Structure 1
Amino acid sequence: MSHEYRPPRRRSRLTRRGRLALFLGVLLAVGAVVLIPVLRGVQELERPRRLTIPEGWRAAQVYAAVDRELKLPPGSAKSAVPTVAPALPAEAKGNPEGYLFPATYPVTSKTTPAALLAHMVRTANEKLATKAVADGGKAHGMTPYQTATMASVIEAEAESRADMGKVARVVHNRLAKSMPLQMDSTLNYALNRNTVDTTLSDTRIDSPFNTYERQGLPPTPIDSPGLEAMAAAVAPTPGDWLYFVTVKPGDTRFSVTYAEHRKHVADFNRRRAAHAGPRTG
């Protein structure tokens, strides 16, 4: 049997550089297989939750909500206030009341009170800087802080968004006539309560927030106003009203004269059984 001659096969040998390239290629291939699932796992590990801050909340309520949502000891959010002070106007003197803008904010386990409060303050500054609000405030001779302060009173006093423009007009008209605002909401802020029942003794408390005895706006905002209240503060509904009272839900009556206002208050008193308290101005 004849045999065909075949030359012996030589094994191909990789150079040092070739071996290194092959080794790195294997590592990258294996790493990609492992890394992609790991990255996917990190991205899917936690979905942001939502924290909603309603219009009209006071700073203390916001702090408590942040602590609850972030599962932190009470007082944690309040202790972070100094970190946001530089973003506040000088008039605020480090107090973020009125600048914790009401909105829905995403939070995760890595969210800190300082970062969350800073986001709220930035948002408030942005809303106050919108052209309509900023130009309207200037037209009335108000600083952004004064706009926020007036808006906070409107937010607290208006029974509905539809009434905000008229409530704003009452505030402007009273200021123009050097009349005290006589807003129950500012008394409630001073007394740290929420009620529609204001007594004569309440109107005599010694507080810079007592707008029954002191003229002008309160020294600071009294809650977190929304954009609608800000807009109303700088563009109030035209009118001569000086008084208002909410006789029942959905029925706020605005008056030009005190005599007319007293009639509406008497009507409210007759409906007292419905437990719908007045918002007077």
Structure 2
Amino acid sequence: MKFLTIGVLLLVIFLGFFVWQGIYLPLDVNGQESLFSVEKGQNAFQIAENLEREEMVKNSFFFSFYAVTSGNATKLKTGDYFLSPSLTVANIVKKIASGDTATVTVTIPEGWTVAQIEERLGVELSSDLEGFLFPDTYNFSVNYSEKDVAEAMRENFERKLDSELHREIEKQGKTIHQIVTMASIIEKEVRTSQDKELVAGILWKRLEAGIPLQVDATITYITGKRTTKVSTEDTQIDSPYNTYRYRGLPAGPISNPGLEAILASVYPKSSEYWYYLSTPEGKTIFSITLPEHNEAKALHLK
């Protein structure tokens, strides 16, 4: 009986060490990191089998056992993870349970167009989203889709355009589309917050007076040229975005503006100015009369 007890005890110790080793020692300390996907609806046992198949763990049992006994079996989250055989089973369980998915960080600058965002991210987005994709820094899953990008950027836009702004826009008798279109122009035209407010005041005033906006940025949006220079021929292009040829706002936004430009569009600054231009150095020159404006052009835009 004594020997049987000792035998059982030794067996328990051996099994305990075997399980401990499987959970807390990595399969390969020099293992390379790779992407592992947890699909929607997969349970701990299915995930364990895939981990063993992809040689992340020695045996699926250890993952399943630890996931259940640690209370994480129902907490495992869908997503893509950077895993390696150099991680212990315990670490892998914790990583997947915490949702520590593999991501890429991308910064979209103010004033970028849908086309530029598509080029940067390698996705195809609807042109209808122009103006409504908020420029910001995003963390996307490494396997992000067009839907992921559009939803994240559009939802961010909706958060930034809060209820107070919605009420103010409605109070002014304007639409979100008009405000964003104006903001997209301002974003492309000038740099500083003060200049944006003044230019917004000038452009809204010109609209009310029935004067063509004649904004160069709308022409470069049509041509796709990444230059500030606009030719006389360019201004004759027949397009609803051509603010030289057609009065009023262009057909829609010409970029994706940041909050500063949106606020300037909603809260423009009144002034005596009717004209402005941006120098090659980025300075904005304001003028009251057309002769003053022409003189400024001759001086600064040689």
Tell me the TM-score range normalised by the shorter chain: 0.7 to 0.9
Query: How many Å separate the matches in 2 of 1:150 and 1:129?
Result: 18
**Structure 2 portions without partners, runs of 5+:** 6-18, 20-60, 71-87
Secondary structure of the corresponding residue to residue 270 of structure 2: coil
Deviation, 1:57, is: 0.3
TM-score (norm 1): 0.72
Which of residues 88, 100, 123 in structure 1 aligns to 2:133? 100
Instruction: Decide which structure has the larger Cα Rg and report it.
Output: 1
Residue 179 of structure 2 aligns with which residue?
Answer: 147
Contact residue 49 and residue 107 of structure 1 kept, 8 A: yes
Which of residues 99, 103, 106 in structure 2 aligns to 1:51? 106
Deviation, 1:118, is: 1.0
Deviation, 1:268, is: 0.8
Deviation, 1:37, is: 3.1
Secondary structure of the corresponding residue to residue 145 of structure 1: helix
Say yes or no: does 1:115 pair with 2:148: yes
> Structure 1 stretches (4+) deviating beyond 6 angstroms?
26-29
Change (3 A) 1:156 1:30: closer
Which of residues 126, 129, 139 in structure 1 aligns to 2:162? 129
Residue 60 of structure 1 aligns with which residue?
Answer: 115
Query: How many Å separate the matches in 2 of 1:208 and 1:30?
Result: 65
Which of residues 238, 253, 258 in structure 2 aligns to 1:221? 253
Which of residues 12, 17, 37 in structure 1 aligns to 2:91? 37
More displaced, 184-193 or 159-168? 159-168
Q: Share of identical aligned residues, percent?
A: 32
Q: Which amino acid aligns with 1:234?
A: V
Deviation, 1:49, is: 2.4
Tell which has more relative contact order, 1 or 2 (C-alpha 8 A, sep 6+). Answer: 1
Contact residue 190 and residue 282 of structure 2 kept, 8 A: no
Contact residue 236 and residue 245 of structure 2 kept, 8 A: yes
Query: How many Å separate the matches in 2 of 1:168 and 1:193?
Result: 24
Query: How many Å separate the matches in 2 of 1:56 and 1:223?
Result: 5
More displaced, 121-130 or 235-244? 121-130
Contact residue 173 and residue 240 of structure 1 kept, 8 A: no
Query: How many Å separate the matches in 2 of 1:63 and 1:247?
Result: 30
Residue 184 of structure 1 aligns with which residue?
Answer: 216
Q: Which amino acid aligns with 1:111?
A: Y
Per-residue Cα deviation, 1:38-97 (whole angstroms, up to 9, x for no partner):
313545975532111100000011112122xxxxxxxxx21x54xxxxxxxxxxxx7101
Query: What is the total number of aligned residue pairs between the two structures?
Result: 226
**Structure 1 portions without partners, runs of 5+:** 1-7, 13-25, 68-76, 82-93, 273-281
